[in-house]
C-alpha cells in the first residue's frame, strides 16, 4: 500500500448547510454559514444538492469530517433534509434558540456574528 492509498481523514472538510429560508432568521443562518466559510472554519455546502441527491454532493457530504446544519426556525428544514438523505451525524443549530425571533431579527453584523459564534462552537465540538 503506497502513501497515496492511505486515507487522511483530517483532510475531509467540515461542511456547513444553512436553511437560507425566506425569513430573517433564514437569512441569518445563511450569512453566518458564509461568514464561517470566509473565516476558514468550514465550507458552506449545497443543501439543494442534498435534497436532489446529486451524486457528487452526496459523496462529499458523506465523506465530511463534520456536518453542521444551521436552521433559522423550528421547522428545521436543513437538518431534516440532511437526515432524509441519510446524513444523520449532524451537529445542529437553530437561530431562534439563540433568542432571535422570526420576523423581528434583522441581519445586522452583530446578529450574524452571534449566530456564527455559536455555529463555530458547535462545529469545533463536533470535531473533537
User: Which residue segments constitute the domains of the chain, with CATH numbers given?
Assistant: 10-123 (3.40.50)
Q: Is 7 helix (H, G, I), strand (E, B) or coil?
A: coil
pLDDT at 3: 43
Average pLDDT for runs of 10 along the chain of length 128: 44 90 96 97 96 97 96 97 96 97 96 97 82
pLDDT at 126: 78
pLDDT at 124: 86
Q: Is 6 helix (H, G, I), strand (E, B) or coil?
A: coil
pLDDT at 128: 62
pLDDT at 39: 96
Amino acid at each position: 500500500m503506497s502513501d497515496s492509498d492511505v486515507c487522511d481523514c483530517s483532510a475531509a472538510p467540515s461542511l456547513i448547510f444553512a436553511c437560507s429560508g425566506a425569513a430573517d432568521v433564514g437569512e441569518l443562518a445563511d450569512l453566518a454559514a458564509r461568514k464561517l466559510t470566509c473565516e476558514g472554519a468550514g465550507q458552506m455546502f449545497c443543501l439543494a444538492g442534498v435534497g436532489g441527491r446529486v451524486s457528487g454532493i452526496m459523496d462529499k457530504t458523506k465523506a465530511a469530517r463534520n456536518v453542521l446544519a444551521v436552521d433559522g426556525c423550528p421547522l428545521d428544514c436543513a437538518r431534516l433534509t440532511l437526515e432524509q438523505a441519510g446524513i444523520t451525524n449532524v451537529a445542529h443549530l437553530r437561530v431562534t434558540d439563540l433568542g432571535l425571533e422570526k420576523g423581528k431579527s434583522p441581519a445586522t453584523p452583530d446578529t450574524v456574528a452571534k449566530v456564527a459564534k455559536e455555529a463555530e462552537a458547535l462545529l469545533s465540538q463536533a470535531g473533537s
